[in-house]
Structure 1
């Protein structure tokens, strides 16, 4: 038995009862439950269940069971034994494996049709699987068999065997054994197959003629008595020609219109092969099919070449040669080809074109699908025309049997369908313009196709083709039409592709929905099941290993248009998904509305069985009748091994209303007292009204409901008076309509006025359901199972009850800047504030709030002078001011602080502020409700820019001379290495930088001063020099011969402000650390030649930012390095004449000095004269 479980949405909005299903069981191996139909006759109401493998394993005739239904009736099922009463006259029937019950459809006029597509009849030795349908009356009596593919059995063949009896044939017993085995499988008789035998060597002998024997046994006995005639020559052409002229005559039993067949058996090349071509042409003219057998024994024994012999025998065989030519290694091997030869001969019985190349209706399997349309019974015949398939149209006045070309698409002749299985499923659509007939061919072009056509008399007119999209999906394997709005005309076509592969290569399945627009179907949407997870080698550790393959759902294996299940006036759809849950199976119910169905299923019913005794729940579905007389449509679902009848539950409309007194809340007018505190109380009146949709009778029901106060808030502002809780759950019994009352109060505390708890209305939410949702009716899914009402707050604005306010907003920022002098941001922690002042000049402004929007380069950091919980920030800031209202002439000021966001570097910090309230404000006063702050900003990059040395000292020895040639860089002069290092700061990102290094490389006389020998840098730097590195290639060992130079310079300082300099330019991409190294050599010959004793060379490094928003500090933009060069004085003696001249000059100066002092009285003593006086 099935065990069922259901998955509900919301509060049990689906009304198919999964708890009390009536179940039917049968053998899994008989495929009991493969098809199901609801049925009603004078005896009562039934479920018909197809079991196509009843009688297995030997017979597997199949059958149909009738199962009585009704809540009080037993569920024992009775087999109808339809195979025994279903017969086609004048044929030899083969009912074994006929699989009756594979197709099961009810007749709108009473009775039903049960088909066995593998029904066969015997035609000669062949079995033609034409299929049959049992037409069963309303009283379960078989009134006839419908088998339009059964045709007159034409098995007559005239066969003449031409035997080579020459001496080279050995042993002869092998030949007679071959004849015995071949003849044993032939039905020989005057109205069936006739056989004659001719033996030839040098001459030709008729062993017996076509009409000599009339039974298989007599022919076999005569064949065993044939003796080898012998002969030294092989006159093959003579033997064939004699058989043609004499054996195939009416006097010797040949019949007009019967296929002539000749079997030639020989072991050597003919001695009259010059006649062979003419003899073969004569056989062709008389339409004699020739099978030629070459025995290679004598060639093998004589070690001779067989090439020429094989070519001759192939020329004797009919075309195509590969179907008419055989060769065996020796006489004993003849028995190995008996079966193959017999099959090819018997195949001639099955074809009318005498070419044994294809079947038409012989294997048609009519009844593979069936459908009662308005005028025709449609029978799918998937095996017709070499399994391309067709649809047989049957009615009392005749049968329309389309040809192989009828359904072919002329526009794609080159893509001729092969084994398309047209007729795999059939259906019809009713339109105002007539009936459209629909057939699926799921293997067409490997992707599947659905054909829509009309009938003009008995002629088919194809009007549309719908193509599948995925190879192997079996698109068109299931088709169903449905009239959603019940206006008698088709609205939708649903096409199943049950083997549609999902993302994990599992057979998930898909159903395509097409809407009917006049006479054309247009794609609307597709439906898919709950995704089934399949284990793969990569996921074995993370998923449950399944027992059964293939994995998936095969959603769309069954699609049933069912009558209105939920009583909304629209028909519905049920889709089977039998492979879900490891082959346990499930079904999905989709409700209709208007002329469409919902994309989301309303109910999923899953089989909770073990998937072994019963499996594939959802293999078949039917839902057309009320089987328990409760006015509701019930659903029957079949699987393999069982079926279940699900009763529908009634649908109840429940309407709920709520009213409150007072209707609004005035926070300044308390009307009750709770716990000694005054507050506001509200009386709530809740009214329920119920009605069953299936009938107008008043019914009694028990409802359970839940009330939540202030439902949109995490913390409620109101509580129930009786429980002091925000939630309440109650039960109520209703008979038609009923009302109940509850009381609740607003929180009475200091926070009543001081905290921002009354911004919006109080939401009262009521949810409801039946007290026992598992039994009785269900709630109407088209109506809500909850309602919400809002109680607003009253605005105290005098008698006019209309508040007209006038807000004024003033905004000031603590920092300033303009385009010429922007504000410099030195750290991401830099903060600033804006001062906000809001004043109300008129009526109270309820729920006054200030909205602040700001650019992403600043971050909200906090508020001052206002309660912290007054503001909410989610990028934009909303601050409640003077809550619950800002009084007339009241002004409130507060500050909002921001800090800079290093993730966004914008040129302006922008803040927009807007003051608003729930009160009205005239448009002419709104201009002062807005404030705007724009501050141009630059961001100072806090990097580190250093050089290892600020000064380098170079001394030129007094005895240094200018060499004639420089062979190594060391001979140039002293080396000066400059190291520049740049490191990222901690606050802002590093911009693109440019580093320029300038050094004086030549004097005004173009003599070299500094010679560049090396340049290196980190990978994040790209450097180029205007002065090449080692331009004279001295470092590579190339000598440089110095010419005589003169250096007139007398300057002691050379820098790039007055002298021409070489430059090194480096582009630095953003990174944390950069390094640039420059190696220079002082060009000593120039210094020696210069008439100076010291020289200072200035090397500059300039750093610039390429981002206009990211700037550098002044001390980070320039570094200077001094290279100070000094020359020593040479040692030596002073000449004698210089010494003597110096002494004379000194004495002369001394004498002049004494004379001058004497003249000035320096040597006179005035004190002596004074003492003398």
Structure 2
């Protein structure tokens, strides 16, 4: 279909830029989904499809489930019929089948990863219908804090004051990582008789155990039957709630020699057979208050303690000094938790596996930032088993001379496809040698040199499908601390096998909404969310998730033809200003094509202007009428053409060798609405209009030169 307009177009010198945005993410029309800032709603975002419905998944890792801060994930519908209300998945209430859980501070929703094969996503293995498909236990090595600790507490009359003992209990309990799959604590109090204050599996958090310890009263008694107390703990307490495979630890606290000391030999031998590690604390208050030599007492307590004494035996001057050994005792137990007998460093015990995740064809990559003394590691979970690279495999990248630098390898994990090497796994190590490192060959850095430091540029990174129609994928990078913690994201073009180092579009939170903070802490873009055929972005913020729509990218094609094709200055066919002049017409045609999907009914609002360039020594040509008229506005459908005649005249001249330059500039009426112009596509066309030189229309010239001569010399004979 062709639209044709006839009229006059006057000269216009263009001073404004019409093509507006240099990329096609809409900053004027967007959607913000709000949630709880306390729950850190928006920490992660993920586009998702389930049952023919499009959803936005939003992580809230500080969400509470009952008394526990488990974290959770919200699903937010994106279809036109929905009001946009988000629903909690309540993942924190579900118990995993193959792991021991510590419900409090689970931080569900801190990482989200989609699986395009079956539309599932990874929090703990959620299928496309938001049901648990399978669970993953990323604790690739059972943490050595899998311990059962029984405290054997002397409560005889000689212990004084009791509140000092209670304070010690509370302080040491607060040192332990108590919870399912970790430490359990039971307390036995003894004097003349033995009482189980509470069993190993009675309480499942530090808070619960501490509260129970506050309520323990001194039982009293005239005798100190330490052997009976130890034997009761060995034979009964470790069985009441004890777990198979858990390391057994006993802490004995007493202030005097036992009245049943003949039984100690057998009790300690049985404890050794049961593989119980014993810490023994001698409280010398009773002896010091009465001036009694404690040597025999100290020897007995050393006998109770496991070997070597320097690691397992303590003595304090009185009950009030118990607080002075809390740190030392905690550190020695922590050392027991974290290492094997012949090692002094951590393997995978403190790995924090699951800090980041990424789905690949045959499994899931899991970042473990705490592994190997917090150098970090990348692990892989597959249906065939776990792939755990040993510490030795990282020695080249993390040499021993940089010991204890805490690189945090696995802070982020992803993968890319290389034509040479197949799929490459990529992991970030942001604290390597206090500078950070990626295991890739460095080919340059993405540039944001015009912004301030400390913006956390790179906190999130998302490869997204082609946005501008050049067939190359793009990359979106978040900088959530930019602009005084308001945040921003940057869009970088892809080109062939690289990413262009200069960003094409920056979107700051301030341009979207004044209330946004930490905008860009997470980014994801893989789906068309509003059903216009274009890939859209989801961006996480503090307490909100922002949906940004893509806009179609168009090219404006300009074609100019002249009637007649050349200026014949001898043909004075019209009058202007009382003078006979040569009149001409330029036929200007414009049409629009899209490089990305666009609706066939989408009208594109255009404007264009034309003018003739004035140049020295070139004949003056003028558009008819005045030169102050505004640019021409009109609309076109994709593939539709609009043509218009522009009339002008040419004045007399003596220089016909240089052509006249006729210029057309086109652009959009409103850069903030509808499609955007491809910033790499020309929007100005300059056409040369030559003068007629006497040749035919095909520039074929036939010379008609006659030479006549005569001589004025006299003939000589």
Instruction: Say yes or no: TM over 0.5.
Output: yes
Residue in 2 aligned with 1:887? none
Matched, 1:384 2:371: yes
2:466 to 558, 564, 579: 564
Instruction: Using the TM superposition, give the Cα deviation of residue 103 of structure 1 relative to its aligned residue in structure 2, in angstroms.
Output: 0.8
Residue in 2 aligned with 1:106? 114
Tell me the SS of whatever aligns to 1:575. strand
- Once the two structures are superposed, residues 65-111 of structure 1 have per-residue CA deviations (whole angstroms, 9 ceiling, x without a partner) of 111113454222222212112535563x3322222111111122234
1:775 to 669, 673, 689: 673
- Find the aligned partners of 1:23 and 1:182 in 2 and give their Cα distance: 51
- Once the two structures are superposed, residues 251-290 of structure 1 have per-residue CA deviations (whole angstroms, 9 ceiling, x without a partner) of 999999965657586799xxxxxxxxxx9xxx9xx99665
1:703 to 599, 606, 609: 606
Residue in 1 aligned with 2:337? 350
Residue in 2 aligned with 1:945? none
Q: Write out aligned runs for 1:39-438 (5 A).
A: 39-55=48-64, 59-71=68-80, 73-89=82-98, 91=100, 93-114=101-122, 133-149=123-139, 151=142, 154-156=146-148, 172-174=158-160, 216=198, 224-227=219-222, 290-291=279-280, 293=282, 295=284, 328=316, 330-337=317-324, 339-340=326-327, 343-344=330-331, 347=334, 350-351=337-338, 353=340, 359-409=346-396, 412-432=399-419, 433-438=421-426
Structure 1 pair 326–758 and aligned structure 2 pair: CA distance change class (3 A): farther
Matched, 1:445 2:433: yes
- Find the aligned partners of 2:303 and 2:657 in 1 and give their Cα distance: 104
Residue in 2 aligned with 1:897? none
- Once the two structures are superposed, residues 975-1022 of structure 1 have per-residue CA deviations (whole angstroms, 9 ceiling, x without a partner) of xxxxxxxxxxxxxxxxxxxxxxxxxxxxxxxxxxxxxxxxxxxxxxxx
- Find the aligned partners of 1:715 and 1:572 in 2 and give their Cα distance: 48
Instruction: Using the TM superposition, give the Cα deviation of residue 408 of structure 1 relative to its aligned residue in structure 2, in angstroms.
Output: 2.9
Structure 1 pair 729–712 and aligned structure 2 pair: CA distance change class (3 A): farther
Residue in 2 aligned with 1:740? 644
Structure 1 pair 758–601 and aligned structure 2 pair: CA distance change class (3 A): farther
- Structure number with greater Rg is 1
Structure 1 pair 320–217 and aligned structure 2 pair: CA distance change class (3 A): closer
CA contact (8 A) 1:662 1:683 kept: yes
Residue in 2 aligned with 1:580? 482
Tell me the SS of whatever aligns to 1:138. coil
Instruction: Using the TM superposition, give the Cα deviation of residue 198 of structure 1 relative to its aligned residue in structure 2, in angstroms.
Output: 11
- Find the aligned partners of 2:514 and 2:680 in 1 and give their Cα distance: 39
Query: Which gives a bigger RCO, structure 1 or 2 (Cα 8 Å, sep 6+)?
Result: 2
Tell me the SS of whatever aligns to 1:582. helix
Residue in 2 aligned with 1:1102? none
1:791 to 669, 679, 689: 689
Across the aligned residues of Structure 1 and Structure 2, the Cα RMSD in angstroms comes to 5.1
CA contact (8 A) 1:85 1:142 kept: no
- Find the aligned partners of 2:669 and 2:553 in 1 and give their Cα distance: 15
Structure 1 pair 223–711 and aligned structure 2 pair: CA distance change class (3 A): farther
- Once the two structures are superposed, residues 672-716 of structure 1 have per-residue CA deviations (whole angstroms, 9 ceiling, x without a partner) of 532123444332111223223326958754421011220678999
Instruction: Using the TM superposition, give the Cα deviation of residue 48 of structure 1 relative to its aligned residue in structure 2, in angstroms.
Output: 1.3
- Find the aligned partners of 2:20 and 2:633 in 1 and give their Cα distance: 16
- Find the aligned partners of 1:654 and 1:573 in 2 and give their Cα distance: 26
**Unaligned residue ranges in structure 1 (runs of 5+):** 1-7, 115-132, 166-170, 200-206, 231-238, 269-278, 452-465, 467-520, 533-550, 804-1173
Tell me the SS of whatever aligns to 1:135. coil
- Find the aligned partners of 1:353 and 1:589 in 2 and give their Cα distance: 49
Structure 1 pair 173–320 and aligned structure 2 pair: CA distance change class (3 A): closer
CA contact (8 A) 1:683 1:743 kept: yes
Structure 1 pair 14–182 and aligned structure 2 pair: CA distance change class (3 A): closer
Tell me the SS of whatever aligns to 1:142. coil
Residue in 2 aligned with 1:719? 622
Structure 1 pair 413–320 and aligned structure 2 pair: CA distance change class (3 A): farther
- Find the aligned partners of 2:65 and 2:505 in 1 and give their Cα distance: 37
Matched, 1:646 2:548: yes
- Find the aligned partners of 2:659 and 2:609 in 1 and give their Cα distance: 20
Instruction: Using the TM superposition, give the Cα deviation of residue 446 of structure 1 relative to its aligned residue in structure 2, in angstroms.
Output: 0.9
Tell me the SS of whatever aligns to 1:616. coil
Residue in 2 aligned with 1:593? 495
- Find the aligned partners of 1:252 and 1:134 in 2 and give their Cα distance: 37
CA contact (8 A) 2:138 2:354 kept: no
Residue in 2 aligned with 1:729? 631
Structure 1 pair 737–709 and aligned structure 2 pair: CA distance change class (3 A): same
1:26 to 18, 24, 35: 35
Structure 1 stretch displaced more, 587-596 or 257-266: 257-266
Structure 1 pair 227–311 and aligned structure 2 pair: CA distance change class (3 A): closer
Structure 1 pair 385–727 and aligned structure 2 pair: CA distance change class (3 A): same
- Find the aligned partners of 1:761 and 1:89 in 2 and give their Cα distance: 83
Structure 1 pair 86–658 and aligned structure 2 pair: CA distance change class (3 A): farther
Structure 1 pair 405–297 and aligned structure 2 pair: CA distance change class (3 A): farther
Residue in 1 aligned with 2:447? 527
- Find the aligned partners of 2:514 and 2:133 in 1 and give their Cα distance: 38
Structure 1 pair 298–705 and aligned structure 2 pair: CA distance change class (3 A): same
- Find the aligned partners of 2:671 and 2:598 in 1 and give their Cα distance: 20
Residue in 1 aligned with 2:508? 606
Structure 1 pair 287–354 and aligned structure 2 pair: CA distance change class (3 A): farther
- Find the aligned partners of 2:315 and 2:691 in 1 and give their Cα distance: 105
Structure 1 pair 665–612 and aligned structure 2 pair: CA distance change class (3 A): closer
Tell me the SS of whatever aligns to 2:401. helix
- Find the aligned partners of 1:603 and 1:447 in 2 and give their Cα distance: 27
Residue in 2 aligned with 1:658? 560
Tell me the SS of whatever aligns to 1:781. coil
Tell me the SS of whatever aligns to 1:527. coil
CA contact (8 A) 1:180 1:223 kept: no
- Find the aligned partners of 1:348 and 1:442 in 2 and give their Cα distance: 27
Instruction: Using the TM superposition, give the Cα deviation of residue 343 of structure 1 relative to its aligned residue in structure 2, in angstroms.
Output: 3.2
CA contact (8 A) 1:35 1:638 kept: yes
Matched, 1:632 2:507: no
Structure 1 pair 310–716 and aligned structure 2 pair: CA distance change class (3 A): farther
Alignment size in residue pairs = 637
- Find the aligned partners of 1:69 and 1:716 in 2 and give their Cα distance: 62
- Once the two structures are superposed, residues 820-849 of structure 1 have per-residue CA deviations (whole angstroms, 9 ceiling, x without a partner) of xxxxxxxxxxxxxxxxxxxxxxxxxxxxxx
Instruction: Using the TM superposition, give the Cα deviation of residue 565 of structure 1 relative to its aligned residue in structure 2, in angstroms.
Output: 1.4
Residue in 2 aligned with 1:964? none
Matched, 1:686 2:672: no
**Which has more strand, going by share of residues?**
1
Structure 1 pair 301–404 and aligned structure 2 pair: CA distance change class (3 A): farther
CA contact (8 A) 1:154 1:349 kept: no
CA contact (8 A) 1:350 1:356 kept: no
Structure 1 pair 618–423 and aligned structure 2 pair: CA distance change class (3 A): same
Structure 1 pair 746–523 and aligned structure 2 pair: CA distance change class (3 A): same
Structure 1 pair 39–158 and aligned structure 2 pair: CA distance change class (3 A): closer
CA contact (8 A) 2:167 2:323 kept: no
Instruction: Using the TM superposition, give the Cα deviation of residue 398 of structure 1 relative to its aligned residue in structure 2, in angstroms.
Output: 1.2
Matched, 1:38 2:47: yes
